[in-house]
Amino acid sequence: MNFHILVQQTVNGLVLGSVYGLIAVGYTMVYGIIGMINFAHGDVYMIAAYLTAIFLAALTALGIHSPPVVMILVLLLTMACTALYGWSVERIAYRPLRHSTRLAPLISAIGMSLILQNYVRLSQGARNQGTPTFLDGHLRLLEDGPDHFVQITHAQILIVVMAVIGMGLLWYLIQGTAMGRACRAVQQDRIMAALLGVDTDRIISIVFILGAAMAAVAGTLVTFNYGSFDFFIGFVTGIKAFTAAVLGGIGSLPGAMLGGIILGLAESIFSGFVNTDYKDVFAFSLLVVVLIFRPSGLLGRPEVEKV
């Protein structure tokens, strides 16, 4: 086993896992609050990638070229617009069906996913889109000759750092603020929280907004790193992020990030040493094995039925 390849694939896996974790947060928060899976969440991530390119072009046209300023402005603008999409999905696809059967919101969310995909395809075109490389530069570590080194790009470092910062801020928001206490109260017992004066509709909308904002962070950073996207990227990445949420324990914020990291590392290392074509098979097989021995996920809590 080549040591440099192992370290390089580990770095790549951490970067990929950070992206999965950021998106998985949206799945796990929505499930924790209303017990439903938002299958349109991956397409919100896809929209964030397009918005990133649009805002990059707009700021460049306005003569703003400073990389730190552009990155901050693009990230904030993309998060704001993507949060609006998350809020709209909740109001259109979930709120009218909240007291319906459990299957109705699921079908509605799948329909919303198809609507968002085709809305972007018709408005932006079906071809692959791209942006110029925005964040150049890299670091070489463990260099031992011209062909033996570990390379980490500045964009990869930014992805990992922003993932840690984003998860830290979200954890503080949920655990250390009044709004976070309200979110946890609604998660534990929505009816009792409403009886105690918590505006449950507002809290549910906020959860969708927060999940969409975290997906926006992932979409912006991935666009900075790869610079290529299309209207269908949300489907595959969304399924992977949902897998990460289930792997870590659906409903657990640390579990979402842990599941994302494990999934990213598994994919990357399998691709580097076995076969790239079957990395998805290996990742989903890992999920099956974990759920066989721990059905609630790595950090999830088994549901206890109250009698």
Comparing CA positions, the residue from 27, 79, 31 lying closest to residue 263 is 27
Asked if 212 and 85 touch (Cβ cutoff 8 Å), the reply is yes
Q: Is residue 59 part of a domain?
A: yes
Confirm whether 195 is domain-assigned. yes
Nearest-angstrom CA–CA distance, 254 and 174: 12
Q: What is the C-alpha separation between 50 and 20, in angstroms, rounded?
A: 18
In a domain, 304, yes or no: no
Structural domain count, the chain: 1
Mean per-residue pLDDT of the chain: 87
Whole-angstrom Cα distance, residue 117 to residue 234?
Answer: 8
In a domain, 270, yes or no: yes
Q: Is residue 77 part of a domain?
A: yes
Residue 264: which CATH number? 1.10.3470
pLDDT along the chain (307 residues), means of 10: 80 92 92 85 94 92 87 94 93 86 85 92 88 77 74 88 91 90 89 90 92 93 86 89 89 89 91 83 83 83 57
Provide the residue range defining the domain that includes 283: 3-293
Structure tokens at 80: 């704001």
* Residue 63 falls in which region: left (phi positive, over 0), alpha (psi -120 to 50) or beta: left
CA-CA-CA-CA dihedral for 116, 121, 127, 131, to nearest 10: -60
302 occurs within a structural domain: no
- For 23-42, how does the pLDDT look when each residue is reduced to its tens digit (9 = 90+)? 999 999 988 888 888 889 99
Q: What is the tens place of the pLDDT at every residue in 79-129?
A: 999 999 999 999 988 888 887 887 888 888 889 999 999 999 999 888 888
**Residue 72 resides in a domain:** yes
